[in-house]
Amino acid sequence: MISLTFYRKEDSSTISRDITLKAFSEFRLTLDADLINFLKDDGWVTIKSNNPYIQGFYFIFHSSGSVAGDHFF
C-alpha cells in the first residue's frame, strides 16, 4: 500500500489517500476537484510505502515554456 498525504501552504491541514499498485504498474496523480479545492494555491505531498522498489517522477510545465522536474526513490 502507498499512502499519499497532501499539505497546503496556508495552514497545517492535510488530506490523505491510500493507493495500491499491482506489480509493474503505475499511478498518475492528477489534481481532481477535491485536491484543487483543498490546496487552493500551493502545496506538497509526502508518499510513504513499505515497498523499496517504488520510484516517482514529477514535472511542472510553466506557461513561460520552462520545465522543472525531480524524482524520488
Cβ neighbours of residue 56 closer than 8 Å, sequence gap 6 or more: 47, 71, 72, 73
Of the pLDDT bands very low, low, confident and very high (cuts 50, 70, 90), residue 34 is: very high
Of the pLDDT bands very low, low, confident and very high (cuts 50, 70, 90), residue 67 is: very high
Question: For residues 28 and 19, what is the distance between their CA atoms, to the nearest angstrom?
Answer: 11
pTM: 0.77
Other Cβ atoms closer than 10 A to 39: 19
- Delimit the domains of the chain by residue range: 2-72
Q: In this model, does residue 59 exceed pLDDT 90?
A: no
Of the pLDDT bands very low, low, confident and very high (cuts 50, 70, 90), residue 55 is: confident
